[in-house]
Chains A and B, each alone.
Chain A
Amino acid sequence: MKEEIINYCGNSEDIVTRTISKKDYVLDIIFCETLSDSSFINELILTPLNINDNKNISEVITSGVLKEIDDSLTAADELFLGYTIIILDNNKIYGIETKKDLDRSVSESEVEGSISGPKDAFLENFNTNVGLIRKRIRNKNLRLRTVNLGSESNTKIGICYMNDIVDNELLNKVLEKITSIKNDIIIDGAYLKEQLSLKHLFPDVNQTERPDLASYALLEGKICIIIDNSPTVLIIPTFFIDFFHTADDYYQKSINTTFIRILRVIAFMIAIFLPGYYISITTHNPTSIPTTLLLSLINQHIAVPFPAFFEILLMTIAFEILRESDVRIPNKVGSSASILGGLILGDAAVAAGIISPIMIIVVAISAISAFVFPYNSIVNLIRYYRFFILLLGALFGIFGLFIGLVILISNISSITSFGYPYTYPFVPLIKEDLKDSIIKTESQSKRNPLLTKKRER
């Protein structure tokens, strides 16, 4: 049997074998050196086996998980899940879990920061992630179901929900959809996110790196999906208003959050509409601006060789390139690159007469307004709609802006996230949940009536 197992693994070097021969029986011990914790094996498996003469291994070894395995093929699979295989007399096979901890320690979230409040973030370890949620909701109603997905990678997926709050129909739908996914590998949560959402630009499924946001979502009646080896946890279902909420909102006074949320809505509108509005003013509808502003725009525009549309297009593309390069560049070279970008795009272009200064202001304001949102999906969405409305504004002026607004709203209103309308709580109007949408008032409980079934609010 031992040779069978080693053959199945292809004679790889990190499979270590050890035989212990006693008077009556022979023990073969096989483990994978890179996945198993060798000190653990020494202390808790090899020493007791050497000392004790009991044939009943389950009495000798007192570690947590011990199971019997039927055939050598499953034993070879279990080897790569971190198990140590013990073969007794070439007959019985036992497997003991001895996984090594190959992860980093719990640290601060890099992407979703907050000023006050807890700062720990999810890791790449499944158990740690579940533990971070469980220590916040110490309730027996918090259930976890696991599924293994990916025919080659065998990744563990956990579906987390509160049993007395969540709606059973939603749960069944999610389970159905997850089990029907047929992928080879699921390396990260983003793969699963693609499979679960429908084909449109708007983000259907939210993700977070913070356990406090995940626990809020669970208490609202939503479902969290935890993926092994991925620090992102998916939240289903989402509504459009969720992208205007951040973690900081719940750790401040309500008036402050109301003000900041209104600011975020204004930033969203500015980020999408400002370049298009500027273009429509300077081409088709200069009647909307006062005379002095019009004259100063003309002054700035005279020296520039390009028409306004191409100027703004160039500037936005250059800005997107700058932003993308900022993410990729290593820290040591970063500062000089940002200076280059700022100088080139800013002063030098204006001084050379290629770009007018007000164009830079417009593009910079609209780009900065997009940075208000921590979620990458919304930033991408803003980018596409900004280009679209820029094109419409250049062709049709303010009429084009109206058409763009109406198309944006038709897109938002036609989306459902797992059957729920995306524009909750504005349409259908549920007054109790308007208290946490853009305005935030003091509220005792946190329960989403659209999603809950059993307990009263």
Chain B
Amino acid sequence: MIILYKDKYTSFELAILIFILLNSTFSTVIINVIKNHSISEIIVSILISFILGLIYLLIIFKNYNEDLIESLKRKRITSIILITCAFIMELFFLVNSSLIFKDILLPSIDNKIIILVFLLAAFFLASKGLKSLVISSNLLFIIYLLIILISFSFNILNVDPINLLPIEFKINKLPFMSIFLSTISPLLFLLIIPKNKILNFNDYKNKVKKTYVIFYIYLFTKILFIISILGIKYLSIIKYPEITILKSINIFNFFERLEELLIINIFIENFILVSLALLYIITLTKNIINFKFTNYLVLLLIFILSISFNNISLTLFYISNIIFIIVNLFNYKRKYRS
């Protein structure tokens, strides 16, 4: 029994990590996408992105690479492309999440210091390896689940189903691409796990599909919940809708101001995402440049870049996402052919 758990990953651990990763882009990307669309557009785009994501996952699992890092040792160009895409994505998440924390928790401290502290903590976790990242995500999931339950159950009385009407079918723009991209690309960071280190790969495949379905149900209910409490017009004015919902929680007329503590969910999601991206970049750069201080070089580079850009445009983020997804797909197909 000891041999089994030493270096390997059980599918349950990875499934929990995947659930957190799928949720991690909600506060930075998805909520901004929802703001200016009507309910029918949102529902249809969620369905389309669900189907697209399932197809993509099925293709990837069919040709799951035995060991991605080994196969990339000879292909320098693809690894450089993957590294730059991961860099841009990580900078995006780092900068945007630090803006949320600055606005709500620490308004008087400069953005750059929050980025530095967050990045140092993420680097601390990334330097301990993937196994400890998986274990810590599992431990943090207990708190995560508890807070989801609190924020849903104490807010149910504020739900007003009239806000969800009318159900029209006027569809102008469908933002399915952004939902699809922002949910799938964090999962691709997990492709660095070689196949032989996962106990029972078939079980893992099933569990990934199950968590994907559960996540989309959860996303659907969460979006409907937010819209039914706030209403679409109010939603488009506020800066952080999901935090505004937490402001109206009132337990026993005494625990009123809980939104600062309930933000830990957003913190956990972004933290795990940033540290996993950092780990991904570090393992891929070790293929190219390998000396004693590669870790610290990457850390320094990310820190300098995140300070110098105040804002990373959404289009750049989407472009890098698309390239990331296509290159990963392309990478596998090549292996399959040869």
On whether A419 and B6 interact (CB within 8 A), knowing A403-B117, A409-B136, the answer reads yes
Set A289, A397, A406: member contacting B140, Cβ < 8 A: A406
- Using known A-B contacts A414-B128, A423-B135, A451-B1, determine if residue A288 contacts B257 with beta carbons closer than 8 Å: yes
Residues of A close to B129: CB separation below 8 A: 414
Indicate whether B12 reaches chain A with its CB closer than 8 angstroms: yes
A398 within 8 A of B: yes
Interface string of A409-428 (1 = CB under 8 A from B): 11011100001110100111
Instruction: List A residues 331-374 near B (Cβ within 8 Å).
Output: none
Check B105 against A450 for contact (C-beta < 8 Å): no
B336 contacts partner chain A, Cβ-Cβ < 8 Å: no
B interface footprint on A400-412 (CB within 8 Å = 1, 0 otherwise) = 1011011101101
Say how far B31's CB is from chain A's closest CB, in angstroms: 20
Complex Cα distance A413/B13, Å?
13
Number of B residues, CB within 8 Å of A: 39
B225 within 8 A of A: no
A44 within 8 A of B: no
Q: Are A421 and B5 in contact (CB under 8 A)?
A: yes
Contact A284 B106 (CB under 8 A): yes
Given contacts A290-B254, A396-B106, contact A410 B136 (CB under 8 A): yes
Asked if B105 and A426 make an inter-chain contact with CB atoms under 8 angstroms apart, the answer reads no
A285 at the interface (CB under 8 A from B): yes
B92 interface hit (Cβ, 8 Å): no
Q: Does B114 contact A (CB under 8 A)?
A: yes
A287 part of interface (Cβ distance < 8 Å): yes
Contact B1 A453 (CB under 8 A): yes
B309 is an interface residue with CB less than 8 A from chain A:
no
A287 to B6, CA, bound (A): 45
Q: Cβ of A287 and Cβ of B118 under 8 Å apart?
A: no
Cα A396 to Cα B268 in complex, Å, equals: 17
**Which of chain B's residues have a CB closer than 8 A to the CB of A420?**
2, 5
- Collect the chain A residues with CB atoms within 8 Å of residue B105's CB: 284-285, 397-399
A414 CA / B256 CA spacing, docked (Å): 37
Report B-chain residues with C-beta under 8 Å of the C-beta of A396: 106, 109, 114, 117
Indicate whether B261 reaches chain A with its CB closer than 8 angstroms.
Answer: yes
When the two chains form the complex, which single residue of A402, A413, A426 contacts B267, counting CB atoms closer than 8 Å? A402
Complex: chain A residue closest to B109, CB-CB: A396
Which residues in A have their C-beta under 8 angstroms from that of B128?
410, 413-414
Q: How far is the CA of A58 from the CA of B128 in the complex (A)?
A: 63
Chain A CB within 8 A of B148 CB: no
Task: Please judge, given known A-B contacts A288-B260, A410-B125, A428-B13, whether A399 and B1 are in contact too, CB under 8 Å.
Answer: no
| Residues of A close to B118: CB separation below 8 A | 403
Interface of B is mostly: helix
Beyond A413-B132, A420-B2, whether A399 also contacts B106 by CB under 8 A is: yes
Interface centre among B13, B135, B254 (most CB of A within 10 A): B135
A403/B1 contact (C-beta < 8 A), A284-B105, A409-B140, A421-B135 known:
no
Would you call A403 and B5 a contact (CB within 8 A)?
no
Selected contact of B5 from candidates A409, A413, A428, CB within 8 Å: A428
B121 proximity list for chain A (CB < 8 A): 403, 406-407
Q: Decide if B304 is an interface residue (CB 8 Å cutoff).
A: no
Within 8 A of B (CB), among A275-298: 284-285, 287-290
Smallest Cβ distance from B154 to chain A, in angstroms?
Answer: 16
**Shortest CB distance B76–A (Å):** 31
Residues of A within 8 A of B117 (CB): 396, 399-400, 403
Q: Please give, as numbers and ranges, the residues of chain B lying within 8 Å of A397 by CB-CB distance.
A: 105-106
Q: Does B328 contact A (CB under 8 A)?
A: no
Say yes or no: A287 contacts B139, CB within 8 Å: no
**Complex interface: chain B residues within 8 A of A414 (CB):** 128-129, 131-132, 135
CA–CA, A428 and B131, complex, Å: 11
Are B2 and A169 touching (Cβ within 8 A)? Answer: yes
Considering the complex, give the chain A residue whose CB is closest to the CB of B113. Answer: A396
In the docked arrangement, what's the CA distance between A285 and B109, Å? 12
Q: Is B10 close to A, CB under 8 A?
A: yes
**B114, B136, B138 pick with most chain A CB within 10 angstroms:** B136
Given contacts A288-B261, A402-B267, contact A427 B135 (CB under 8 A): yes
B13, A427: Cβ atoms under 8 Å? yes
Q: Which residues of B contact A452 (CB under 8 A)?
A: 1
A289 to chain B, nearest CB (A): 7
Asked if A290 and B257 sit within 8 Å, CB to CB, the answer is yes
Contact A290 B264 (CB under 8 A): no
Decide: A450 near B5, CB < 8 A? Known: A288-B261, A406-B121, A428-B12.
yes
Question: What string of 1s and 0s marks CB contacts (under 8 Å) between B87-107 and chain A?
Answer: 000000000000001000110
Binary contact track B119-145/A, C-beta < 8 Å → 1, others 0:
001001100110111111011100000
Given contacts A289-B257, A403-B118, A409 and B139 within 8 Å (CB-CB)? yes
Asked if A407 and B1 make an inter-chain contact with CB atoms under 8 angstroms apart, the answer reads no
Contacts of B171 in A (CB 8 A): none
Interface residues in chain B, defined as those with a beta carbon under 8 Å from any beta carbon in chain A = 1-3, 5-6, 10, 12-13, 101, 105-106, 109, 114, 117-118, 121, 124-125, 128-129, 131-136, 138-140, 254, 256-258, 260-261, 264, 267-268, 271
Not counting A399-B105, A409-B136, a sample of 15 additional A-B residue pairs whose C-beta atoms are within 8 angstroms of each other reads A287-B260, A289-B257, A396-B106, A397-B105, A398-B260, A400-B117, A407-B124, A412-B136, A413-B133, A423-B138, A426-B138, A428-B5, A429-B13, A449-B1, A452-B1
* Chain A residues within CB distance 8 Å of chain B: 167, 169-170, 284-285, 287-290, 396-400, 402-403, 405-407, 409-410, 412-414, 419-421, 423, 426-429, 449-453
